[in-house]
Amino acid sequence: MVHGAEPVSVPPLAFMHRTLANGLDVYAAPDHTTPNVAIHVWYHVGSKDDPAGRSGFAHLFEHIMFKGTRHTKPETMDRLTEDVGGINNAFTADDVTVYHEIVPAHHLERLLWAEADRMAALKVDAHNFQSEREVVKEEYLQSVEAEPYGRFGEDIIKKSFVVHPYQRPTIGTIAELNAATLEDVRAFHNTYYRPDNATLVVVGDFQPAQLDAWVDKYFAPIPRPAGPVPRVTAREPARTREQRCREFYPNVPLPAVAVTYLGPAARSADALALEVAQEMLAGGNSSRLYQRLVYEKQLAQSVEFQADLREDMGLLVFRVVLAHGRSVAQVERALLAEIRRFAARPAGEAEVAKARNRLLTDRLHERETCQGKAAALAQAAVVLGDPRRVDTDLTRLQSVTAADVQRAVRTIFTEQNRLVFEGLPETMKETKR
Amino acid sequence: MKAHFILLVLLAWGASVLRAAEGQLPTPPAPAEPREMKLPQPAEKTLANGLRVVVVERPGLPLLSAEFAIKSGGEVDPPEAAGAMSMLSTLLMRGAGQRSARQLAEAIEALGGAIDTGAGWDATSARLTIMAPPAAAGLQLLKDAVRRPTLASAEVERLRAETLDELRVTMEEPGTLARAALARLIFGEEPYGHPLQGTPKSVARITRAQLVKLHATYFRPDNAVLVFAGKLTAAQGFAWAEQFFGDWQNPVTPLPPGRPAAPGGKPRTVIIDMPTAGQAAVLVGRAAIARKAPDYLPGLVANTVLGGGYSARLNAEIRVKRGLTYGARSELGAWRRGGCFVAAAQTRNSAGPEVATLMRAELDRLGAQPVPADELDPRTSTLTGAYGRALETNNGFVSELAHRAVQELPLSTLQAFPADVRAVKPEAVQTFAREHLRGADTCVVIAGKAEDFRASLERTFQDAVVIPQKDLDLEALDLRAPGSNR
């Protein structure tokens, strides 16, 4: 298997699935080797669904979900998790908002109660709303303003989409966060936080019949609202010619360059091949871009490549921070040459096998914990649209070939589908490049 | 759709409440009976050359981790060469045995594995994570990396350039600058006083000869441990240890003794003025205890009550109650010859001094009265729960066991830790806070845009020294570049 001959066999994640009458999808995978249980609730709403003029709202709302319900005080989730040796957190992505907990298994019923409670009804007062909004503004300052390349990262996303709401940064802007009201919170919960727009995943030490009974008791009574969940319908037009742009920033110590391409959606048949491409280009110290740009030519301080495939479409992003004393033009030329070379001809099988082996090891590591298994199962069910892919992708991944990779990237890495964006230190404003 | 939307808005809370009317109980159900955490027993053996080997068998997934750790870290960096051990740890994988840097990266990555190296305080490690079938091939590479690194001049120069560029970026982060400055205030020129990665000046000075000497002096079997966890038997682990490391001889010269850490500098407040900072980093800290100190566990619990999670006091006061930060945390660094306590948060520039004052007040409150049982119990649960989750993975096991082996603590503390933590009494926590965490004894560092908080600074920290970012020298005891204006 090491050189691509024998596939590694991984025990399948034996999971159960049912859909309640109110539309809630439930996935469960018992694992009695751990004393813990992981609970995930995925809502099919993300920052692309931010209301008009409320950039950052889906994420702000995620914070508000911890601020009290009709039955509970703010921070009840922490009482039910941290206080008993568990943990909870949540994150907002472009397409989904995810709430998750890990607790000692004998606390499972309490968490099901609490997740059902906040799905059914939030009740947040003005003080808690405003105080949490301040926290989110600090999160913005920390991740965007205080980070040397924070604003550059936000601008890459903004400039990469013309029409699609994917252009809005998940964290939002201070002005639009300030504009949000409690009324917006109520409307958003009513619109998107409903059982037929949610998926519950439970992995860990529990008895399936017991879990079913608890789910029936706590989630089944939540009614399904009438009418469909609104969906984003905007379609990003294909790019027709290369675009170039540039911004200057106060705290960027070394110039940076981003190159982005529009790509396929997460459910595309090419998704696994693009994951392998990501690994081959920038996955480790033997990856192409690290070897050429950082190691051999010492043109770059760092190089990253991410094939970020989302529900509606994908964005492939290269990000390079220059090594000291290098010219932006020189680094751009070298990066674009590597991308062209990668798309022009298939790689050797050994290079592809290396990437496959690394990805397989990563997925095995994910399966060490009930948290990792729950996340993988939810990702397959909600984002990929087929829960069985939590297992079948492991086999398919091991059969991705060099030809598959080249076929997938050839139509994406074209000149007309390219955006080149330079993020430069403010001190370069006066001087010629 | 539009009509539906308006209706929902008009009904507002009414709509939500109606949806919840059926079935939902007003209080959470009681927890069931707790289940026992079952931990596998580690097996251990010391080879004839002194290498200590520990194995934990974890059948299941076809994965294993192997950590090779030497019991010396950044604290043995030569004077004037801060960052040397960190640099050496990276160079282990930049060419070793017969392989160049590139060949070594190709070889381990072709196996689907990784060898991650790094230097901490008291320990430098190389950790192999790999699928079980190719483990022996991975161990051969691990062996070469730790026993026969090439340390080629060209690789030293390349890494120096890389590190200097990385420092150019990280030295723009308020949190990184504040942390490095605080370590210097607490430990002065003694071990633990410099950034592990070095400073721009020290990294520029490190020589290849110093790196070769560091390797020859400290990389030896009687100063090392090897820990396995995953899909292997103890017998297999011991056999691999013998095969790859059994013929390694110790140098005839004894290991040099370590330098003691400083008792802790006097309390000072330093402002690093970063005119373009988007936020201020606020750190409050002081010297505390060594890992083997008898009050380590009370110290750990005290730290957890203060800053060990979302619900801990610092975050509760600064984030939850006041919305001043995205997160306030603290940590207790406890090493062989000393340690320190550090509380940290990032906040809007204007609130820097306010956050520092709140932190000091929380330190004093912990010393003033015992932690109530209904607070102590949940916070110790945070600690034991995190421990239990870490031990769901092979890497968690090798980290916990390597730490114990490096600090020469009994391996039985692996099993005993949760009960030992739960046995800590509120009085012991209070005593620890009184002895080691008095607010007035702490150093304060705020790195941010000073203009935005100058007025509140003058009210609360009259003795504060303001150092412009351009004049900051992390090597100087007063943190000022020679010749800069006072």
Interchain proximity A222–B113, CB inside 8 Å: no
Interchain proximity A324–B114, CB inside 8 Å: no
B113 within 8 A of B65, measured Cβ to Cβ? no
Cα distances from A353 to residues A280, B63, B112, B430, in angstroms, run 10, 18, 9, 57
Q: Which of B28, B137, B388 sits opposite A114 (nearest CB)?
A: B28
For the whole model, what pTM was predicted? 0.92
Q: Which residues 6+ apart lie within 8 Å of B161 measured at CB? A: A298, A323, A324
A214 within 8 A of A109, measured Cβ to Cβ? yes
Which residues of chain B neighbour A291 with C-beta distances below 8 Å? Answer: 102
pLDDT at B11 over 50: no
User: Mean pLDDT: which of A136-145, B35-44, B356-365 is highest?
Assistant: B356-365
* β-bridge pairing A243-249 and A418-425: parallel
Q: How far is A376 from chain B (nearest CA, A)?
A: 16
In degrees, rounded to 5, the angle at the alpha carbon of residue A128 between the alpha carbons of residues A120 and B4 is 40
Whole-number pLDDT of residue A194: 97
pLDDT band at B16; cut points 50, 70, 90: very low
Question: For B250-309, what is each residue's pLDDT tens digit?
Answer: 999 999 988 876 666 789 999 999 999 999 999 999 999 999 999 999 999 999 999 999
Mean pLDDT of A297-320: 97
Q: How many CB atoms lie within 10 A of CB A235?
A: 10
Whole-number pLDDT of residue B260: 76
Whole-number pLDDT of residue B262: 66
pLDDT band at B5; cut points 50, 70, 90: very low
Say if residue B276 is in the same domain as residue B207. no
Which residues of chain B neighbour A206 with C-beta distances below 8 Å? Answer: none
Q: Among B322, B320, B318, which residue's Cα sits nearest to residue B343?
A: B318
In a domain, B2, yes or no: no
Q: Among A184, A162, A155, which residue's Cα sits nearest to residue A60?
A: A184
pLDDT band at B189; cut points 50, 70, 90: confident
Question: For B190-214, what is each residue's pLDDT tens digit?
Answer: 889 999 999 999 999 999 999 999 9
Say if residue B315 is in the same domain as residue B395. yes
Q: How far is B213 from chain A (nearest CA, A)?
A: 25
H helix runs in A267-411, sequence order = 271-282, 288-289, 328-344, 349-366, 370-378, 389-397, 402-410
Sheet holding B443-448, edge to edge: B325-335, B338-347, B280-287, B443-448, B269-273, B465-468
Structure tokens at A19: 């859909």
% of chain B residues with pLDDT over 70: 94
Whole-number pLDDT of residue B2: 31
Whole-number pLDDT of residue B144: 98
CB proximity under 8 Å: A 94-153 to B: 102, 104-110, 113-114, 116-117, 120-123, 130-135, 137-139, 141-142, 144-150
Average pLDDT, chain A: 95
Say if residue B439 is in the same domain as residue B307. yes
Query: Could you confirm whether domain A16-218 is CATH 3.30.470.20?
Result: no
Mean pLDDT of B309-326: 96
Mean pLDDT of A137-148: 92
- Using CA atoms, how far apart are residues A205 and B469, in angstroms rounded to an integer? 53
Say if residue B237 is in the same domain as residue B354. no
Poorest-pLDDT segment among A58-72, A162-176, A418-432:
A418-432
Q: How far is A261 from chain B (nearest CA, A)?
A: 26
Poorest-pLDDT segment among A111-120, A137-146, B219-228:
A137-146
Q: What long-range pairs does B423-426 form, CB within 8 A, spacing at least 24?
A: B424/B297, B424/B298, B424/B301, B424/B380, B426/B370, B426/B371, B426/B372, B426/B373, B426/B376
- Using CA atoms, how far apart are residues A151 and B130, in angstroms rounded to an integer? 37
Question: For A14-48, what is each residue's pLDDT tens digit?
Answer: 999 999 999 999 999 999 989 999 999 999 999 99
Mean pLDDT of A387-404: 95
Q: Domain holding B340: CATH number?
A: 3.30.830.10
pLDDT at A175 over 90: yes
H helix runs in A243-348, sequence order = 271-282, 288-289, 328-344
Which residues of chain A neighbour B114 with C-beta distances below 8 Å? Answer: 284, 358, 361
Interchain proximity A285–B109, CB inside 8 Å: yes
Whole-number pLDDT of residue A431: 58
Indicate the helix (H) or strand (E) that contains B70. Answer: strand B63-70
CB proximity under 8 Å: B 63-122 to A: 63, 93, 101-102, 105-106, 109-114
In a domain, B7, yes or no: no
Whole-number pLDDT of residue B36: 77
CB proximity under 8 Å: A 193-212 to B: 205
Structure tokens at B314: 């610092």
B374 touches chain A (CB under 8 A): no
pLDDT band at B1; cut points 50, 70, 90: very low
CB proximity under 8 Å: B 380-439 to A: 381-382, 384-386, 388-389, 392-394
Whole-number pLDDT of residue A8: 73
- Using CA atoms, how far apart are residues A313 and A266, in angstroms rounded to an integer? 7
B115 within 8 A of B108, measured Cβ to Cβ? yes
CB burial of A163-194 (b: ≥16 within 10 Å; e: otherwise) equals ebbbbbbbbbbeebbeebebebbbbbbbbbbb
B37 touches chain A (CB under 8 A): yes
Say if residue B185 is in the same domain as residue B220. yes
- Using CA atoms, how far apart are residues B131 and B485, in angstroms rounded to an integer? 58
Q: Which residues 6+ apart lie within 8 Å of B146 measured at CB? A: B68, B70, B92, B126, B219, B224
Q: What is the ipTM of this complex?
A: 0.90
Say if residue B221 is in the same domain as residue B289. no
Say if residue B58 is in the same domain as residue B157. yes
Whole-number pLDDT of residue B23: 53
Number of domains chain B is built from: 2
User: Nearest 10 degrees: CA dihedral of B180, B183, B189, B192?
Assistant: -100
pLDDT at B452 over 50: yes
* CATH fold for the domain made of A243-428: Cytochrome Bc1 Complex; Chain A, domain 1 (3.30.830)
Mean pLDDT of A5-14: 76
Mean pLDDT of B24-49: 88
Say if residue B79 is in the same domain as residue B224. yes
Q: Which of A86, A221, A357 sits opposite B22 (nearest CB)?
A: A221
Mean pLDDT of B320-337: 96
Q: Which of A80, A285, A364 sits opposite B63 (nearest CB)?
A: A364
Which residues of chain A neighbour B62 with C-beta distances below 8 Å? Answer: 8, 10, 364
Whole-number pLDDT of residue B264: 65
Interchain proximity A324–B164, CB inside 8 Å: yes
Per the structure, the complete domain to which residue B70 belongs is given by 43-245
Indicate the helix (H) or strand (E) that contains B366. Answer: helix B352-368
% of chain A residues with pLDDT over 70: 97
Full DSSP string of B182-199: HHHHHHTTSTT-S-TT--
Mutate to test the interface with A, among B164, B389, B422, B446 (most CBs of A within 10 A): B389
- Using CA atoms, how far apart are residues B359 and B298, in angstroms rounded to an integer? 19
B331 within 8 A of B342, measured Cβ to Cβ? yes
CATH 3.30.830.10 domain range(s) in chain A: 16-218, 243-428
Q: Helices (H) and strands (E) in chain A — how many of each?
A: 15, 11
Q: Which residue of B has its CA nearest to A255?
A: B169
pLDDT at A401 over 50: yes
3-state SS assignment for residue A73: coil
Sheet holding A314-322, edge to edge: A243-249, A418-425, A256-263, A314-322, A300-309
Q: How many CB atoms lie within 10 A of CB B242?
A: 15
Q: Which residue of B has its CA nearest to A205?
A: B35
Say if residue B167 is in the same domain as residue B235. yes
In a domain, B255, yes or no: no
Q: Helices (H) and strands (E) in chain B — how many of each?
A: 18, 12
pLDDT at A161 over 50: yes
Q: Which of residues B245, B280, B297 is at a domain's end?
A: B245
CB proximity under 8 Å: B 439-468 to A: none
Which residues of chain B neighbour A4 with C-beta distances below 8 Å? Answer: none
Beta bridge partners of A421: A245, A258
Q: How far is A296 from chain B (nearest CA, A)?
A: 9
Whole-number pLDDT of residue B191: 86
Interchain proximity A350–B110, CB inside 8 Å: yes
